[in-house]
Structure 1
């Protein structure tokens, strides 16, 4: 078990890293509403429609007043299932860093997931898909995985979200639509109708802005702490200590900013299976949630 002191240190380190890097999501909270500093707006969306996916894909019904629904975990009483999710993060302004040789992809992680036969849900920014179209197409065409939307720009949808620049209210919807366009342009045949807010930061205004896109906002209940982590064992302990039936675990598919994740997966997956957990995709957990029988 990870000690309380170590847990606090790890959590503080993850938050500090997010503030410094502003490149990764999933080290944040599920809500933020304080105003943030203005930031350059992302480019306008493509005119390609944003119909996310074929009918029949599991999703949640809209919330009160038609708000975009939010999913954080599956049922706790329908067996020991857990979904590993991976954010493929790249912000709209990080092209020069990629040009200088920084790697925002992680082919070794994807190869390990395939080797271990791990179903997984990957939340990908449109900018990542633009930078690595072959990898996006490979992931999105593999039935072992499902590929979902993590915005185009990886700019925040609220203020004060771990130092991320902010998308204006009028561009939130188009940023999501532009991400779907980028995924399709890369050759992803069926991007899922799931959206993960950059940094995990959202409020009612953000949920309302996405009304009509027919997406389910997917959060998590287990923070891996892999963002900028250098101690793989600490990340492993944090995941294993946090997992419960129906959990959604958030990790990253970004080599430069989450260098331990592939090693973490090699340890976590066999241990979860030893404990009787069945690894599933987010769509499986949503389907279980919708199944009232």
Structure 2
């Protein structure tokens, strides 16, 4: 019970802090382009997605199979809202290059859910993450505004602009040089309902949630974050953490503690795409 409260509070605090009063200003952008067809000699490269839900709703993925070995996906939300430019200009750090360097040093594959505004603010970092085969980039909206009402104090995106907000993020990625952003979408705050799932159905994305909350939002005790992750991980888990120094300052230290311990327990780290592929019945998870 205490862990559940702590997890909910951590997500609440992060979402409320990143809220900004300005409009998200989302404009309709071109649809997400299809990836080029592979050559006859090349293996198919299209990332796995889940089939649509009932009535064609956007499918939701929370964890991989529990019986396909000790694998776990670490995911990191690179949060920045549409109205936080002045805070970044004043010196607030919404990035975390130390965390990315730690993941590289530890050779841990990971999925980064990036907002379009973050990619605009840190285009060099966004491009470097996307080009590193250790990582994959997915969509966390452009504005980091909520897709439902009453989502931890976040401003909300009107239903008629939800799809445009997601498309605008993909456009921001392309402008930053991120050309392989995956068709995975994480709702800001994790908040979604039937209306928002229906609004995004035409994009053919898979909504990615989680089953382990890292609790790193504004945490000051890296050991406590590490314990929360280690206590929650099960085979096939998706762990949500953050890639934002100002909002999650101890994440790097927590990851440095979590990774060797999970490896000692026999876990292997994979990207979210590998877990979704396993859920689709692919014979093996990526090495």
Report the TM-score when normalising by structure 1: 0.89
Residue 42 of structure 1 pairs with residue 24 of structure 2: yes
Partner of 1:87: 77
Could you say if the C-alpha distance between residues 115 and 23 of structure 1 is closer, same or farther in structure 2, counting changes exceeding 3 Å? farther
- Per-residue deviation at 1:10? 3.0
Q: Is the 8 A contact 2:49 2:206 kept in 1?
A: yes
Report the TM-score when normalising by structure 2: 0.91
- Per-residue deviation at 1:45? 2.6
Partner of 2:60: 70
Secondary structure at 1:96 match in 2: helix
Match of residue 97, structure 2, among 107, 119, 123: 107
Partner of 1:132: 122
Give the Cα–Cα distance (whole angstroms) in 2 for the partners of residues 116 and 83 of structure 1: 14
Partner of 1:253: 243
Match of residue 241, structure 1, among 228, 231, 234: 231
Q: Note the residue ranges of structure 1 that are not aligned, 5 or more in a row.
A: 25-38
Q: Is the 8 A contact 1:52 1:193 kept in 2?
A: no
Residue-pair matches, total:
275
Moved over 6 A (4+): none
- Per-residue deviation at 1:18? 3.2
Could you say if the C-alpha distance between residues 144 and 52 of structure 1 is closer, same or farther in structure 2, counting changes exceeding 3 Å? farther
Partner of 1:14: 10
Match of residue 212, structure 2, among 222, 246, 251: 222
Match of residue 191, structure 2, among 195, 201, 217: 201
Match of residue 175, structure 1, among 165, 169, 173: 165
Q: Note the residue ranges of structure 2 that are not aligned, 5 or more in a row.
A: 37-44
Residue 58 of structure 1 pairs with residue 48 of structure 2: yes
What is the CA deviation profile of residues 179-224 of structure 1, one whole-angstrom value per residue up to 9, with x for unaligned ones?
0000011001210000000000000000000011010000000000
Q: Is the 8 A contact 2:65 2:235 kept in 1?
A: yes
Q: Is the 8 A contact 2:65 2:275 kept in 1?
A: yes
Secondary structure at 1:212 match in 2: helix
